[in-house]
Amino acid sequence: MPDSPKTIRRGDYAPPAFLIDTVDLDFALDPMATIVRSRLAFRRNPAAAADAPLRLDGEGLTLLEARLDGEALPESRRQLGADGSLTITDAPDAGILETSVRIAPERNTALSGLYTSGGNFYTQCEAEGFRRITFFPDRPDVMSRYSVTITADRARVPVLLSNGNPDGSGDAGEGRHWARWVDPHPKPSYLFALVAGDLVNVPDSFTTRSGRKVALNIWVRRGDETRCGHAMDSLIRSMKWDEEVFGLEYDLDVFNIAAVSDFNMGAMENKGLNVFNTKYVLASPETATDGDWQGIETVIAHEYFHNWTGNRVTCRDWFQLSLKEGLTVFRDQEFTADQGSRAVKRIRDVRGLRAAQFPEDAGPMAHPVRPDSYIEIDNFYTPTVYQKGAEVVRLLHTRIGPVAFRRGMDLYISRNDNQAVTIEDFVGAMQDASGTDLTPFMRWYDQAGTPELTVEDSYDPATRRYTLTLRQRTPPTPGQVEKQPLPIPVAMGLLDDTGAALPTRLAGENAAQPGTRVLLLDGAVQDFVFEDVPAPPVPSLLRGFSAPVRLKGVPQERLRFLAVHDSDPFVRWDSGQQYAAAFMLEQVARVQRGEAPGFAPALADAVANTLASADADPAFAAEALVLPGEGFLADQMEVADPEAIHQVRRHLRRQIGTHCGAALLATYQALTETGPYRIDGRSIGRRSLRNACLAYLAAAGEDGVALAAAQYRAATNMTDQLAALALLADAETPAREAGLAEFHAKWRGDDLVLDKWFSIQAMSSRPGTIAAVRALYAHPDFDLKNPNRARALIGAFASGNPLHFHDSSGEGYRFLADAVIALDPINGQTAARLIGPLGLWRRQWVERGALMRRELQRVLDTPNLSKGSFEKASKALQ
């Protein structure tokens, strides 16, 4: 990087100089030379400085022609900047600007802007991809009405799609045809989409509650039509749910989804034309795991819900990203919770938050939910903006209650419809609808780091008073050393020594409250005094994970008690996990002292109890059976020890598998499915419980491994087949090579399934895995240009295999850096996203940390590094 790329700061926001009321686009599609003609009706923004020039973003565009109010613009009146932008000098206060540019979609490997995949055309414009298609003020606070005409070869490109409603089509002569689309709703440029090619559609329809019939289509490659049923079903359920729960109805005549196998992320909510990674559309029992089915439901819902939270009401600038993302994740979480088990959904979401967001918040890339600055906005589509952002929305929901929250949503939408707004507008609507002062909650958006919550308590038998002292502290994060206390809603209850709930009455209250109540901790330390408590109670805190904090220091015996007795399923699950984690960390310390790890009979008892009552809720039982992951344990340690953690976890899995072998086998056998594959929550739960049992049995020894091999051969669905193959991939057995070879031969024609084959090998704990990963990188089926494939190998290894990634030779780090350096010039966005694991060097031993830094420096020293990779590597080194 010759010059350091520019940092964009939130405080520097200024309104756009010009607004664009209408955009008429005309595409003549061709893989190597697409011509994009644009007609913009512009006018000076009354809210901006009166002398600012008309500046349009552009990137990699070849300008063919520019006309202002019908006249060709002389070169003296237009400047092409080094950054690719186009500036018009002495622009009138209003007028028509026409430009014509040439682009080459076939050469676009960055998959941002207009690109081809498998010979078809697709776009991706969020965050700043529209400028790679045409000159435009490419920022979300410029909202315009679009009409789009597409012309292409009829035989090769029979389907022509864009946003909004269809508005005519016809013959264009010379074997070409055209179609026109009009979107009646003003939108920012990042929501523009075009999809064209040889695609087939799976049609359906939805009638809105006001009686409008909406045509639904999922567009896929020929041959994939049979795998769209679940996506369509999820879409229809999402549309209905948003009407019922939020009163929000769809607002166009058509809703199109197009699936593409080359895509930088999961999916994109373009108005009326969502573009999806095939991973989140295509599913059949033979090819998709239960996790994939659930992922499809979540992502379909998420993108659909953006139609209101994101599209109709959008973000003023990219610092407000969580305004649409945190809120929309909250909405998709609520949707899924309503479809099945709310408790299991909450457990999974918290597991995900702790696995991805907590480490981010404790590392060099820690940033507030609303960041203060960025170099490349694509780097900020993070677990903090999405998942922690959703937790902050949930805090508000908990604080003001569901009725006021719904009123707040109505108010937010009615006040801000068709506008680009800020997080203050959202919190302000919630405040006005609830009559509660929510200004202190803004700190959750602007302060980075995960607060630690500690508890002390005391009981006075003479006065029958019980005092709960809650304390909070947020550790410093880069650039934010001083932290303020946050308002933390703590959902809680008190239990007597039999586990029965005690009614609670705080000093000053007239009546006792039964069940769960919410305490608001809003200072650094606060006492909550409960009256009339008959005996020393056990507090159950943070029910339902009422705030994204680390609850610390709860004694082991209380955790054991809560794991069995609490009425709140989240606290039962979490207490079990915290108990196991504390025990495992003690064993890690033993291993570090050169001693053998021990075993706690309490863990075997817990497994036995879980199995005994598993039938009531198999999905919950499966969650409770799984030991805390290696990453979660590493995140609890000041300085991680990946080898010792792996050794302890492996040891405990073997011990549990041995001690509880009979019960595990009995449960395993009782859950063997006979009927057809079903995708309801209970069937999924039964499969995950059965596979959790199998994992323990395989850890215990040969018989279990043989059982896995048998399951692999007999499986009729991908969930069971892959679960068994992953166990084999970790074991020393001839069934391993045979299984992997057979799987590859069977699925080599199916990209999404083949990704799984790469991932399970990348995550294997066997010795020699790094060499195996290098060999897979050179495999003929590996394709660095395909983001799914790159993530399936490189991402799975770096994020999902701490044991080998942190190999003391530094080979794991070197592999990752090599891959990032190779990928960066092809697709900087996907390369930058892979860098993260190298950033956690401070949490490793000094020697390892030095090796990690060396690789980061090697990335940073690469000539012409993308600004996204520059930002990630340089921040990681700080």
281, 228 Cβ separation under 8 angstroms: yes
Query: Shortest Cβ distance from residue 377 to ligand B3K (Å)?
Result: 8
> Residues in the chain, how many?
878
Q: Residue 878: how many CB atoms within 10 A of its CB?
A: 9
Is 303 designated active site? yes
Tell me the C-alpha distance between 710 and 584, whole Å. Answer: 31
- Between CA 182 and CA 167 the distance in angstroms is 6
Q: CA-CA distance, 370 to 448, in Å (whole number)?
A: 9
Q: How far is the CB of 428 from Zn ion (least distance, A)?
A: 22
Nearer to ligand B3K, 315 or 470 (CB): 315
Q: How many CA atoms lie within 13 A of 605 on its CB side?
A: 9
Choice from 177, 187, 271, 302 touching ligand B3K (CB under 6 A): 302
Instruction: Indicate which of Zn ion, ligand B3K, none lies near residue 127 (CB less than 5 to 8 Å, by partner kind).
Output: ligand B3K
Element (H, E) at 830: helix 828-834
Segment lying near ligand B3K (by CB under 6 A), choices 298-306, 488-496, 506-514, 801-809 = 298-306
Shortest distance in whole angstroms from residue 150 CB to ligand B3K: 23
Site string for ligand B3K, 316-345 (x = CB under 6 A): ---------x--------------------
- List the structure tokens of 277: 């990674």
Give 273 or 411: the residue with its C-beta nearer to ligand B3K: 273
Spatial neighbors of 870 by CB under 8 A, at least 6 apart, are 1, 4, 5, 375, 376, 860
The one-letter amino acid at 256? N
Residue 268 touches which member of ligand B3K, Zn ion, none, C-beta under 5-8 Å by kind: ligand B3K
Matching residue, tokens 């045979």: 738
What binding mask, one character per residue, do residues 65-84 give for ligand B3K by CB under 6 A, x or -? --------------------
Query: Collapsing DSSP states into helix, strand and coil, what is residue 71?
Result: strand
CB of residue 835 to Zn ion, shortest distance in Å: 22
347: nearest Cα among 625, 84, 116, 126: 625
Q: Which does 727 bind (CB under 5 to 8 A by kind): ligand B3K, Zn ion, none?
A: none
Residue 322 or 761 having the CB closest to ligand B3K: 322
d(CA 300, CA 269): 9
Residue 655's φ and ψ, nearest 5 degrees, are: -60, -45
Decide if 234 contacts 297 (C-beta within 8 A).
Answer: yes
How far is residue 706's CA from residue 712's CA, in Å, rounded to a whole number? 10
CB closer to ligand B3K out of 266 and 800: 266
* Residue of the chain from 160, 257, 258, 268 that contacts ligand B3K (CB under 6 A): 268
Given 126, 269, 297, 303, the catalytic residue: 303
Q: Which is nearer to ligand B3K, 241 or 805 (CB)?
A: 241
Question: Which position has the token pair 């659909």?
Answer: 304
Give the number of other CB atoms < 10 A from CB of residue 853: 16
Among residues 685 and 787, whose Cβ is nearest to ligand B3K? 787
The answer to the question of residue 271 lying near ligand B3K (CB under 6 A) is: no
Token pair belonging to 482:
């001083």
Q: By the 8 A CB rule, do 775 and 761 touch?
A: no
Would you count residue 138 as binding ligand B3K (CB under 6 A)?
no
* Residue-wise burial string across 106-143, b where 16 or more C-beta atoms lie within 10 A, e elsewhere: eebbbbbbbbbbeebbbbbbbbbbbbbbbbbbbbbbbb
Query: Considering only 60-68, 102-110, 299-307, 809-817, which stretch makes contact with ligand B3K by CB under 6 A?
Result: 299-307
Specify the residue, 325 or 360, whose C-beta has the smaller distance to Zn ion.
325
Single out the residue of 68, 73, 103, 127 in contact with ligand B3K (rule: CB under 6 A): 127
Among 126, 376, 751, 824, binds ligand B3K (CB under 6 A): 126
Spatial distance between the Cα atoms of 262 and 607, rounded to a whole number of angstroms: 43
Of the ranges 152-160, 266-274, 341-349, 838-846, which one interacts with ligand B3K (CB under 6 A)? 266-274
Are 24 and 38 in contact, with CB atoms under 8 Å apart? yes
Could you say which of 1, 35, 63, 265 contacts ligand B3K (CB under 6 A)?
265
Binding partner at 378 among ligand B3K, Zn ion, none, C-beta below 5 to 8 Å by kind: ligand B3K
265: partner contacted, choices Zn ion, ligand B3K, none (Cβ within 5-8 A by kind): ligand B3K
Return the one option of ligand B3K, Zn ion, none that residue 57 interacts with (CB less than 5 to 8 A, by type). Answer: none
Among the listed residues 24, 30, 98, 269, the single contact to ligand B3K using CB under 6 A: 269
Distances (CA, A) of 209 to 222, 247, 250, 251, 257: 33, 9, 10, 12, 22
Q: How far is CA 304 from the centre of its chain?
A: 15
For ligand B3K, give the closer residue by CB, 189 or 688: 189
Is the separation of the CB atoms in 731 and 767 below 8 Å? Answer: no
The minimum distance between CB 314 and Zn ion, in angstroms, equals 12
Closest distance to Zn ion from the beta carbon of 374 (Å)? 18
Neighbours of 401 (CB within 10 A): 12
Shortest Cβ distance from residue 264 to ligand B3K (Å)? 6
Q: Which of 303, 566, 730, 855 binds ligand B3K (CB under 6 A)?
A: 303
Judged by CB under 6 A, the stretch of 81-89, 151-159, 265-273, 717-725 that binds ligand B3K is 265-273
Binding region for ligand B3K (CB under 6 A) out of 76-84, 260-268, 500-508, 806-814? 260-268
* Min dist. Cβ of residue 305 to Zn ion (A): 8
Query: Toward Zn ion, which CB reaches closer, 302 or 791?
Result: 302
The encoded tokens of residue 234 equal: 């999820």
User: Interacting stretch for ligand B3K, rule CB under 6 A, among 138-146, 261-269, 288-296, 744-752?
Assistant: 261-269
The window from 216-224, 264-272, 446-454, 613-621 that contacts ligand B3K (CB under 6 A) reads: 264-272
Binding of residue 381 to ligand B3K (CB under 6 A): yes
Rule CB under 6 A: is residue 378 a binding residue for ligand B3K?
yes
Helix (H) or strand (E) holding 202: strand 200-207
* Helices 681-700/661-670 angle, 10° precision: 140
CA distance 17 to 875: 32
Judged by beta carbon, residue 325 or residue 630, the one nearer ligand B3K is 325
| 827 dihedral zone (left: phi>0; alpha: psi -120 to 50; beta) | beta
The count of residues interacting with ligand B3K (CB under 6 A) is: 12
Binding site for Zn ion (CB under 5 A): 325, 328
Q: How far is the CB of 137 from Zn ion (least distance, A)?
A: 23
Q: How far is the CB of 276 from ligand B3K (least distance, A)?
A: 10
| Residues pairing with 551 in the sheet | 453
* Whole-angstrom distance, CA of residue 475 vs CA of residue 739: 47
Q: Is 867 in the site for ligand B3K (CB under 6 A)?
A: no
Residue placing its CB nearer to ligand B3K in the complex, 190 or 444? 190
CB of 309 to ligand B3K, least distance (A): 10
Buried b (16+ CB within 10 A) or exposed e, 515-536: ebbebebeeeebebbbeebeee
* CB neighbour class for 818 (10 Å; exposed up to 12, middle 13-18, buried from 19): middle
Looking only at the bridges linking them, the beta strands covering 200-207 and 254-260 are: unpaired
Query: Which of Zn ion, ligand B3K, none does 574 bind, CB closer than 5 to 8 A by kind?
Result: none
Choose between 297 and 635: whose C-beta lies nearer to ligand B3K.
297
CB of 350 to ligand B3K, least distance (A): 20
Select from 161, 146, 185 the least CA-distant residue to 257: 161
**Catalytic machinery residues:** 303
- Site residues for ligand B3K per CB under 6 A: 126-127, 265, 267-269, 302-303, 306, 325, 378, 381
